[in-house]
Amino acid sequence: MELNFANIEEEVKKLWAEKNIYRVENKSDKPKYYVLEMFPYPSGAGLHVGHPLGYIASDIFARYKRHKGFNVLHPMGYDAFGLPAEQYAIETGQHPAVTTEKNIARYREQLDKIGLSYDWSREFKTSDPKYYKWTQWIFIQIFNSWYNPETNRAENISTLISKFERNGSSQISNLKSQIFSAVDWKSFSEKEQADILMQFRLAYLADAEVNWCEGLGTVLANDEVVNGVSERGGHPVVKKKMRQWFLRITEYADRLLQGLETLDWSEPMKEMQRNWIGRSEGALIRFNLNPNQTSPQPSPSEREKYSGTANQKGWSQEFDGIEKANFYTTDSSTHKALKPIARELRKNDTAAEDLIWQVVRGNQLGTKIRRQHVIGKFIVDFVSIENKLIIEIDGEIHEQQKEEDAIRTAFLNSEGFKVVRFKNEEVKNNLENVILKIKTELQNNLTLNPSPSEKDLNTNSEHSAIEALTPSQKEKGQGMRFIEVFTTRPDTLFGCSFMVLAPEHDLISKITTAEQQAEIEKYVQYVKSRSDVERMAEKKITGCFTGAFALHPFTQKPLPIYVSEYVLNGYGTGAIMAVPSGDSRDYAFAKHFNLPIPNIFSDINIDEKCYEEKTAVLCNSDFLNGLDYKAATKKMLDALEEKNIGQRKINFRMRDAGFSRQRYWGEPFPIYYENGIAKTLPENELPLTLPHVASYSPGPEGQGPLANLKDWVEMKDLTLNPSPSERDLNTNLDHSTIEAQTPSPLEKGQGMRFRETNTMPGYAGSSWYFLRYMSPQEDHAFVNEEAMKYWGAVDFYNGGSEHAVGHLLYSRLWTKVLHDLGFINFDEPFKKMVNQGMIQGQSKFVLCATTLNCVTTFGEIYISNDVASQYNNLDELTKFVVNEVEEKYNGRFENKAALRMQFYPTRVPVEYVDGEKLDFVSLKLNEPIRFNSSGESIFITNSNNEFLCRTEVEKMSKSKYNVVNPDDMIAQYGADTFRMYEMFLGPIELSKPWDTKGIEGVSRFLRKFWNLFFTEDKLTLSDAEPTNEEIKILHQTIKKIDADIQKLAYNTCVSQFMICVNELQTLKCNKRSILEPLLVLLNPFAPFITEYLWKEIGNTNSVIDAPFPTHDEKYLIENSFTYPIAINGKTRVNMEFALDADVAVIEKSVLENDQVQKFMEGKPMKKFIFVKGRMVNVVV
């Protein structure tokens, strides 16, 4: 009988709805089980075949658990706030709520087709005020808490205030603010108190850097920034400090780390979280700044310290010549190498160089000027060694040159030279002026580098975010004349030869010498245009010398201080001690800038690369000489603490979580500012609903669009929630909600109240949604207490590994905070976590040619490299294109050969591609505009007039035209087939490309299965006793399915079902005792067909309530095994033996075998290896 899945699905859906089969109660005699998958963000593209992968996998598990007798909670909802809806709104003016609603409807429609066992009565979306009311409420709780290090948990801020009132700051071990007494505390103004408390709150305000795009007047997500410019419009993007909300997740670093041990998550997942948290043990070390900036070079005696036995390339070599004569500014070998080049340059000097040379040569300016002089590895145009001045004449300036010049300048600066540059034109046109400038510089440089003023160093830095983020950073620049670094390798301190600051480091502006000022500014500006990822990924070494020096804490040797982007401000103290011999990045940096690389490792050669292992014994390290890593580390830590140079420190890589966005489509903060103090709205007024805006463009100073709503921002009418009810703010104010810092743009206006105009980030709503499913209608709390106690933590959580860190970490944080504050009774949200891999799309590319608008006179066909490498028959192709183009443009261009073509592969929608071939006709009919680029394009065919496509596997996405819609699959093959095929593709945690072709196999399987129940066109089951064979295959299948579902190996489950059905078909089995349990086994995978047949064979309940079959081992026992017999590991023969046969018997029998003897070639047996039930190996 034909399987008509469409009718079956229809009928079964009706039955499910009638009986409300997936409705779950918050109480039951059965044990509970909570199965959850990450809820989707409803994008405009709808679901593609990748989405259901996880949903089906979880659904199978949920159904399995229900068969196993659990009360299963399996809900679904929508993560509905987010950037794409807002961007769409900016483009089209449609309200995000409208598009979101539309998208959700579409998602729901698609989800309903798949046969998922959701309790839809629990559905919600995070953008619903009924939901985000509680997101806001939880935020208030977080805002009103601090982390008490004594109790090791979050507490209400009131416990901190009472500590302050009683004892001032003295009892607080994690003090983040100034020291004060109880009397002081009481004397502080409200604002002063608020400022102090803000440094403890778990949700707090601080300055942080954002991607600022002046062109768009807005802050951009990292995602929206490509190569330093905005993705939309290509405007430059720079880092800018803005006042932001943060969650103090760093306080939970240790608990988040330790909590992992209790969780049943995959090891790689835990590993990723561990690495994110990034706990490392090491030391904070203070390096004093050199009070006398005029001694940039080490004295000979200092140099000697480096001249140990180890093969090294330190100062002693670099400065080899200094003692011989002061104009030896490089080592002898470099000089030898460069001398001929310098001579050559002197002979062929440019006109400009000659002009200058004639004026400055000899002693004309009162100091000896040398030309084409070698310094380090560079040849400089002119130099006065006495005055430490270099004069360079620039020719044509291009990008690369600029960069090289910067590097060159940095090096020369580090050697104590000042560099002045003149352009060719300048010299030619205004020589007098140039000479005057040179004279002035020579004069200035006679009085050596002035040190930065004391005053500068002593001024307190303003309160900055960074201080709040990492306590240790607070001290930097606060009048301390030292640089503090964090290192995990204090044992290598004697190998430190320079220091590097992050480009954002506060100290930079205070220590940079006058002559380096311009360079540093340029460099810092350059870094501002780069993202953190770019900064880390870049192999190119960049940096800039500050002109300042720090002193080695033990040797007092001056260490040059550089700025480089490879040091990140967010990690540690934003400054490092560079140990080039022991760290690859430091090593590369030192090589690049010609800095010394003192070797501190005995018997290790560091000429080619540094030594990062921890096994060598130290040398050239004063009191650490002869010690290994462990002993040296301990001794150094002790020494640091004893001498008060530094201390032991546990550092975390994790930073506090930025919690505000300059966006519209997110939860408004339940916060307003009064006299510069952040205060919370009264809880009973929540939710603060998102007001309508006329435009979704950003506020005047880059704030979110809400900032444009003047009436809403300035709470003139004292209404917290604008209409309908007018309420008096003063009577409703919650007294525990006090104090905070000001949002800078809103500081004016005493007594006025201003709303927070930022909104919460995407992860706000998703950090606690799993709790809401327990009691989605609850109106008096974020979760009903009884429901929370019944369901507890999620037992089985599934989602993409792309969320492995962010979402999972934030959810764990919120859970822990809610637990600490006594609202829930568990402190880990997800007991078991499974990652599904991605289903990737197969993008199809067809070769395309476009005429460039500017027709050049080159008379050539231009073929870009990537095309050339993809198509190997270019000659033929080129000819073809030339012909095509000539034909097409005949008469329009006088010179046909002057056409310039650009070839590139263009994406075409997968639905028009069958295998490799593009159906060009339907493409043209259905997508007439989409593929017109600015020029005219020609799709290129091969010689058979076919449009052949190249395939590339990438993320499935609308913009890549590679989306396969599950609806189409279901319409064509049915939901059960679709479900099983998705599972059959491979292990669920693996990413794999979608290929529709394979679905036929599963479709065939289900038809075969269906036909087992029918003879002719009638459903007939036999009640006869099953044969041993039939029983065996059933029990094998039960065993395999049960085990594999628990392992989530659904692909092998499908294989086993196929094996089973193939066998039963061969046996022509239609016995009830075999097929009925099989229906239950198959139900989690194919719920429609099994539900239908279950009813058809006479059951009145739903198949989902049938208990899962159990297998009986006795049907599976084998009594013999066919052993592969290997000689020297190579299988040669198979021999069957009873499983309980004696080894000696087997050995005898094997050795007597003809084949075995043949392969033993008469050699004596060395060893006989026998593994029962596995194999035999004869070693000769």
Partner RNA sequence: GCCCGGGUGGCGGAAUUGGUAGACGCAGCAGACUCAAAAUCUGCCGUUCGCAAGGAUGUGCUGGUUCGAUUCCAGUCCCGGGCACCA
Considering only residues 12 through 31, tell me which ones interact with RNA, judged by CB under 7 A: none
* Among 490, 705, 761, 1077, contact with RNA (rule: CB under 7 A): 761
DSSP state of 960: G
3-state secondary structure 426-482: HHHHCHHHHHHHHHHHHHHHHCCCCCCCHHHHHCCCCCCHHHHHCHHHHHCCCCCCE
Contact positions with RNA (CB under 7 A) in 173-212 = 210-211
How would you label 604-637 residue by residue, b for 16+ Cβ within 10 Å and e otherwise? bebeeebbeeeebbbbbbeebeebebeebbebbb
The CB-of-387 to RNA minimum distance in angstroms stands at 41
Asked if 595 and 465 count as a contact pair (C-beta separation under 8 A), the reply is no
Least distance CB 1134 / RNA (angstroms): 6
Min CB(996)–RNA separation in Å: 9
Q: Kind of pairing, strands 671-674 and 753-755?
A: antiparallel
Distance CA 664, CA 760 (A): 9
Read off φ and ψ for residue 457, nearest 5 degrees: -70, -25
Give whichever of 173 and 872 is closer to RNA, judged by the CB atom.
872
Estimate to the nearest angstrom the gap between the alpha carbon of 1091 and the chain centroid: 43
| Residues within window 534-563 making contact with RNA, judged by CB under 7 A | 536-537, 539
Give 1100-1125 as a 3 state SS string.
CCCHHHCCCCCCCHHHCCCCEEEEEE
- Taking CB under 7 A as the criterion, the residue among 337, 397, 1019, 1169 binding RNA is 1169
- Give percent helix, percent strand, percent coil of the chain, each to the nearest 5: 40, 20, 40
- If one asks whether residue 486 binds RNA (CB under 7 A), the answer comes out as no
Q: Does position 662 bind RNA by CB under 7 A?
A: yes
> Which of 89, 1058, 1089, 1156 is in the footprint of RNA by CB under 7 A?
1058
Does residue number 41 form part of the binding site for RNA (CB under 7 A)?
Answer: yes
Which one of 771, 804, 846, 847 is in contact with RNA (CB under 7 A)? 804
Residue 429, C-beta contacts closer than 8 angstroms, at least 6 positions apart: none
Give the whole-angstrom CA distance, residue 1146 versus residue 1139: 10
Could you give the 3-state DSSP secondary structure of residue 42? coil
Q: What's the number of CA atoms in the CB half-sphere (13 Å) around residue 416?
A: 18
Residue 488 found at the interface with RNA (CB under 7 A): no
Told to check if 501 binds RNA by CB under 7 A, we report no
Comparing CA positions, the residue from 273, 16, 133, 151 lying closest to residue 780 is: 133
The residue from 219, 720, 794, 1064 that contacts RNA (CB under 7 A) is 219
Q: Least CB distance from residue 1059 to RNA, whole Å?
A: 5
> How do 482-487 and 279-288 pair as beta strands?
antiparallel
| CA distance to 174, 363, 421, per residue, from 382 (Å) | 57, 13, 10
Size of the site for RNA (CB under 7 A): 101
Q: Indicate the residue among 630 and 1158 with the shorter CB distance to RNA.
A: 1158
Question: Dmax over Cα atoms in the chain, in whole Å?
Answer: 120
CA atoms within 13 A on the CB side of 1083: 29
Instruction: Closer to RNA by CB, 414 or 470: give it.
Output: 470
Which of 166, 428, 1004, 1163 is in the footprint of RNA by CB under 7 A?
Answer: 1004
Contact status: 1084 vs RNA (CB under 7 A):
no
Answer for which of 352, 1126, 1146, 1150 binds RNA (CB under 7 A) is 1126
Q: Pick the piece of the chain touching RNA (CB under 7 A) from 89-97, 291-299, 531-539, 776-784.
A: 531-539
Q: To the nearest whole angstrom, how small is the minimum distance from the Cβ of residue 274 to RNA?
A: 8
Q: Which residues pair with 447 in a beta bridge?
A: none
Q: Is the dihedral of CA 722, 728, 734, 738 positive or negative?
A: positive
Asked whether position 83 contacts RNA by CB under 7 A, the answer is: yes
Residue found by looking up tokens 């679905």 in the block = 999
Residue 792 is a binding residue for RNA (CB under 7 A):
no
Whole-angstrom distance, CA of residue 511 vs CA of residue 544: 13
Asked if 1066 touches RNA (CB under 7 A), the answer is: yes
Amino acid, single-letter form, for residue 747: E
* Residue among 270 and 373 whose Cβ is closer to RNA: 270
690 binds RNA (CB under 7 A): no
Out of 360, 577, 1002, 1093, the residue judged to bind RNA by CB under 7 A: 1002
| Shortest Å, Cβ 841 to RNA | 10
Binding flag, residue 276, RNA (CB under 7 A):
yes
Using CB under 7 A, which of 102, 346, 1163, 1174 touches RNA?
1174
Q: Which residues contact 879 (CB under 8 A, 6 or more apart)?
A: none
Member of 7, 174, 275, 972 binding RNA (CB under 7 A)? 275
* CA distances for 680 relative to 161, 293, 674, 781, 1066, angstroms: 17, 51, 10, 18, 72
Among 528, 614, 655, 789, the residue binding RNA under the rule CB under 7 A is 655
Q: Which of residues 1005-1034 bind RNA (CB under 7 A)?
A: 1005, 1007-1008
Find the binder of RNA among 281, 860, 946, 1000 (CB under 7 A): 1000
CA–CA gap between residue 131 and residue 256 (Å, rounded): 26
C-alpha span between 1154 and 19 (Å, rounded): 69
Is 77 buried (19+), middle (13-18) or exposed (0-12) by CB count in 10 A?
buried
Q: Is 210 left (phi over 0), alpha (psi -120 to 50) or beta?
A: beta
For residue 705, state whether it binds RNA (rule: CB under 7 A).
no
Which residues have C-beta within 8 Å of that of residue 734, sequence separation ≥ 6? 680, 682, 683
Q: Which is nearer to RNA, 6 or 533 (CB)?
A: 533
Nearer to RNA, 46 or 321 (CB): 46
User: Which positions from 324 through 383 interact with RNA, judged by CB under 7 A?
Assistant: none
Q: How far is the CB of 210 from RNA (least distance, A)?
A: 4
Q: Is 1074 helix (H, G, I), strand (E, B) or coil?
A: helix
Q: Find the binder of RNA among 235, 803, 917, 960 (CB under 7 A).
A: 803
Candidates 475-483, 688-696, 727-735, 1061-1069; binding stretch for RNA (CB under 7 A): 1061-1069
Pick one of 22, 24, 34, 40: the residue that binds RNA (CB under 7 A): 40
Which one among 1131, 1142, 1143, 1163 touches RNA, defined by CB under 7 A?
1131
C-alpha span between 473 and 484 (Å, rounded): 8
Name which of 321 and 987 has its Cβ closer to RNA.
987
Q: How far is the CB of 765 from RNA (least distance, A)?
A: 8
Among 31, 471, 998, 1107, binds RNA (CB under 7 A): 998
Instruction: Out of 175, 221, 359, 882, name the contact with RNA by CB under 7 A.
Output: 221
We find the least distance from the C-beta atom of residue 1061 to RNA, in angstroms, to be 8
**Closer to RNA at the Cβ: 224 or 251?**
224
Tell me how far, at minimum, the Cβ of 169 lies from RNA, in Å: 28
Nearest distance, CB of residue 905 and RNA, angstroms: 15
Helix or strand holding residue 695 (H, E)? none
Residue 257 to residue 278: CA distance in whole angstroms: 9
Per CB under 7 A, which of residues 233..272 are in contact with RNA? 242, 244, 267-269, 271-272
222 scored as a contact of RNA (CB under 7 A): yes
Give the nearer residue to RNA in terms of CB position, either 276 or 773. Answer: 276
Whichever of 689 and 996 has its CB closer to RNA, that residue is 996
Pattern of binders to RNA over 932-961, x per CB under 7 A?
Answer: ---------------------xxx------
Residue among 1124, 1135, 1153, 1165 that touches RNA (CB under 7 A): 1124
